[in-house]
Amino acid sequence: MTARTAHARRATAARRRANRIDRWAGLALYATCLAASLLVALLIVDVAYQLVHGSHLAFSRFGLGFLTTSEWAPNFNRFGAAPLLFGTIVSSAMALVIALPIGAAIGLFLSMFAPRAVRGTVGPLVEMLAAVPSVILGLWGILVLGPWVRGTAEPALHGAFGFLPIFGPAQTTGASMFTAGIVLAIMVVPIIASVSRDLFLTVPRELRDGAEALGATPWEVVRGVVLPATASGIAAAACLGLGRALGEAIAVTQVIGNRTGVHASLFLPGDTLASRVANQFQGATSALHTSALFYLATLLLIIGIATNVLAQWIGHSFDRRIGVAR
């Protein structure tokens, strides 16, 4: 009797201990995961803090006029972001104008027009394009694309469309806004292609069946049903691509020529926010110089966030419109 009671008591104690260990272990796991998540949030906040802190000197010196000043002369402590804002917008816009139709076309190819066997190889190949590091694309841009642009593309475009101010005369080197735009487009195409391919595949089979059953050609099915149904998603993909283009520092700084200037012609060199920071940070001549570069980075961050917010807004407004007659 006593032996059994003692044994039972030991078993209960062991069970209670196991339960206690269980509870503590569960708590420990939750606490670890929570801590990791809070760390991430903390890092984000700290990023904002460091940027603001770093740009404080320049901001107190130049204020918001920084955005409209065109001069960038480190030796005279005069800094202005206007040409860089211009360069960022122009290079990203050019990249998007090229990459959006091409990326969407590739997305259509991968989801609708390609035979199944081809989809399996071309899809991953396009994704490999996104995996090429930007410094290698930039190297290729300096030594291969640049000379080609200067020798072939620029004269051809100037010859055929020279009446447009964006296609001015060719310059001495291939380092220009145009080359940067092409390099950025190469980076953005895979993003838009992947996202749009996934989007097109989500269009329900029955919607496409319905269109086909009405005697529509494959292109008419795409134009009438697939594209309108995915319009908001395509716009969001464009914003994703835009974000990528805005933030690219290395490849752009290798091929854009690093000049401060606002010009109409794409064939002249220029600079962007990210590129200038990458190019001048190492050799910054003064604390003000460094702070001005921090200020540029802060502007870049704000523009990036604004692009994301725009993506969300476009998504919502498109979805509302589809309910209404076109």
Partner 1 sequence: MTSNGQQDPVATLPLQRVRVVAPSPREAPPAVPIEEAVFDVRGVDVFYGAKRAIAGVSMQVERNVVTAIIGPSGCGKSTFLRSLNRMNDSVPGFRIEGSILYHGHDVYGSGVDRVEVRRRIGMVFQRPNPFPKSIFDNVAWAPRNLGLRAGLAERVETALRGAALWDEVKDRLKQSALGLSGGQQQRLCIARAIAVEPDVLLLDEPASALDPVATAAIEELMHSLKRRYTIVIVTHNMQQAARVADRTAFFSLDERDGQRVGALVEYDATQTIFSHPADTRTRDYVSGRFG
Partner 2 sequence: MTALYDPTAPLTASGNLRRRRAVSAVASSATILAAVLAVGVLALVVFTVIQRGAGAISWQFLTAAPPQFGGPGGGIAPAIVGTATIVAVAAAMAMPVGVAVAIFLTEYAGGRLTRPIQLAVDVMNSLPSIVIGLFVFGLLVAGRHQSGFAASFALAMIMLPLIARSTQEMLRLVPGTLRDAAEALGVSRWRTIVGVILPSALGGIVTGTVLAIARAAGETAPLLIVCSIYGNKTTFDIFGQAIPNIPVSIFTLSEQADPSGFTKAWGAALVLLTFILLTNIVARTLLARSRRNMTR
224 contributes a contact to partner 1 by CB under 8 A:
yes
| CA 203/CA 188 separation, integer angstroms | 23
**Which 177-206 positions form the footprint of partner 1 (CB under 8 A)?**
204, 206
| CA 252/CA 259 separation, integer angstroms | 12
95 contributes a contact to partner 2 by CB under 8 A:
no
Closest to 318 in 3D by CA, of 241, 237, 230, 247 = 230
Q: Token pair for residue 307?
A: 């692009």
Stretch that binds partner 2, among 3-11, 160-168, 225-233, 295-303 (CB under 8 A): 295-303
222 contributes a contact to partner 1 by CB under 8 A:
no
Q: Residue 172 or residue 206: which is nearer to partner 1 going by CB? A: 206
| CA 100/CA 190 separation, integer angstroms | 10
Backbone angles phi, psi at 257, to 5 degrees: 100, -15
Q: Dihedral through CA 159, CA 165, CA 167, CA 171, nearest 10?
A: 100
- Residue listed under structure tokens 């995961």: 33
Pick from partner 2, partner 1, none: which does 131 bind, CB < 5 to 8 A by kind? partner 2
Q: Which of 1, 41, 117, 213 binds partner 2 (CB under 8 A)?
A: 41
Q: Name the minimum Å distance from CB 285 to partner 2.
A: 16
| CA 242/CA 239 separation, integer angstroms | 5
155 contributes a contact to partner 1 by CB under 8 A:
no
Q: Token pair for residue 85?
A: 């804002």
Q: Name the minimum Å distance from CB 109 to partner 2.
A: 4
Print the binding letters for residues 150-169 with partner 2: x by CB under 8 A, - otherwise: --------------------
282 contributes a contact to partner 2 by CB under 8 A:
yes
Pick from partner 2, partner 1, none: which does 58 bind, CB < 5 to 8 A by kind? none
Q: Which of 7, 17, 53, 316 binds partner 2 (CB under 8 A)?
A: 53
Q: Name the minimum Å distance from CB 78 to partner 2.
A: 22
Backbone angles phi, psi at 173, to 5 degrees: -115, 165
What are the C-alpha distances in Å from 45 to residues 39, 60, 87, 296? 10, 22, 28, 18
59 contributes a contact to partner 2 by CB under 8 A:
no
Which residues of this protein are in contact with partner 1, per CB under 8 A? 116, 204, 206-207, 209-217, 220, 224-225, 228-229, 322-326
